[in-house]
């Protein structure tokens, strides 16, 4: 469960304020965030994941007050509780698909063992990547690359998945397939999904849609 209370954030240059009086996302809930560019949607994801700290207010994810965590604890929190999916997939071109999926275990405090590798292969197989795990991203299609990115985000079994325009680079057919794949996997672990999107065709698939203009990013000048 994710809960935001009286949240406010201001960029150091004072370019805009972000105010979120209250927002609650239940476990397993699929929430889409829409709104014009520059209204702070990505900023919201960064706040929830602890990448940046709010000026005031409270962010709680699974009973953890993210804003109160120290630097190391926030890193560990992100590794264990948050799954990131990016518009550009953010895969490493020098690693194979399998090593990309396992990447969080190479660079964070997530514990790697043989079972993790087995689960990675299973997850990849159910994601349609069977036979492609030893290939590098450059030899995969865009849809396949996003499947790899989804597997990377889901492998640690996070309680919250933050997707920033996750289908933005995909063709219409692939968008539906990838989104369904994401929903299926998230449902298996009862993970909540908070997805920023500009694609209104996809909105009916979400449980709830938040129009971010309601939180209105205010210019200070």
Partner 1 sequence: MNSLRLALAYLRFHWVRSIVLVLVVGMILAVPSATQILLASSERQLTARAEATPLVLGRRGSALDLTMNAIYFSDEHPEPLSMAEVDVIWDSNYATPIPLHTRFTSDGFRIVGTSIEYFSFRDLTLLEGRSLAVLGEAVIGAAVAADLGVGVGDGVVSSPENLFDLDGVYPLELKIVGVLARTNTPDDEAIFTDIKTAWVIEGIGHGHDDVLTGANGAENVQASASLLQFNRITPDNLDSFHFHGDPGGFPVTAILVDPYDLRGATILRGRYLDPDGRAQMVVPATVVRGLVDRIFRIKTLLDTVTLVIGVAALAAVALAIFLSYRLRGPEVKTAIKIGAGRGTIAQLLAVETAILLTGSIALAAILTFLVSRNADGWVAWLLATGT
Task: Please report, as ranges, the residues that interact with partner 1 according to CB under 8 A.
Answer: 49, 51, 71-72, 75-80, 82, 84, 86, 88, 90, 92-95, 99, 103-110, 112, 136
**155 near 120, Cβ under 8 Å?**
yes
Please, which residue, 13 or 71, has the CB nearer to partner 1? 71
Please, which residue, 17 or 117, has the CB nearer to partner 1? 117
| H-state helical runs in the chain | 41-48, 71-81, 97-107, 114-126, 142-154, 172-189
- Report in angstroms how near the CB of residue 82 gets to partner 1 at its nearest: 8
Q: Looking up tokens 């890193």, which residue turns up?
A: 75
Q: Which two tokens stand for residue 139?
A: 């030899």
- Report in angstroms how near the CB of residue 16 gets to partner 1 at its nearest: 21
CA proximity to 127, closest of 185, 82, 86, 173:
185
Element (H, E) at 219: strand 218-219
Please, which residue, 55 or 106, has the CB nearer to partner 1? 106
Please, which residue, 60 or 76, has the CB nearer to partner 1? 76
- Report in angstroms how near the CB of residue 36 gets to partner 1 at its nearest: 24
Please, which residue, 111 or 219, has the CB nearer to partner 1? 111
- Report in angstroms how near the CB of residue 45 gets to partner 1 at its nearest: 9
- Report in angstroms how near the CB of residue 6 gets to partner 1 at its nearest: 25
8 CB-side CA count, 13 A: 8
**Distance, CA of 60 to CA of 27 (rounded, Å):** 13
Q: Which two tokens stand for residue 70?
A: 């120290």
């Amino acid at each position: 469960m994710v809960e935001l209370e009286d949240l406010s954030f201001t960029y150091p240059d004072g370019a805009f304020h972000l105010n979120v009086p209250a927002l609650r996302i239940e476990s397993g809930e699929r929430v889409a965030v829409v709104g014009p560019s520059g209204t702070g949607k990505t900023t919201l994801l960064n706040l929830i994941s602890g990448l940046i700290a709010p000026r005031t207010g409270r962010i709680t994810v699974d009973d953890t007050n993210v804003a109160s965590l120290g630097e190391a604890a926030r890193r560990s929190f992100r590794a264990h509780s948050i799954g990131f999916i990016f518009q550009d997939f953010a895969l490493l071109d020098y690693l194979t698909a399998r090593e990309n999926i396992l990447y969080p275990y190479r660079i964070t405090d997530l514990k790697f063992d043989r079972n993790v590798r087995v689960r990675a292969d299973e997850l990849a197989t159910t994601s349609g990547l069977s036979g492609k795990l030893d290939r590098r991203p450059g030899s995969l299609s865009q849809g396949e690359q996003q499947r790899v990115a989804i597997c990377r985000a889901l492998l640690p079994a996070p309680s919250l998945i933050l997707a920033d325009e996750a289908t933005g680079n995909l063709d219409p057919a692939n968008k539906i397939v990838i989104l369904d794949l994401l929903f299926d996997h998230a449902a298996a672990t009862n993970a909540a999904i908070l997805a920023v999107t500009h694609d209104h065709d996809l909105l009916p698939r979400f449980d709830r849609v938040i129009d971010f203009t309601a939180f209105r990013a205010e210019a200070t000048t």
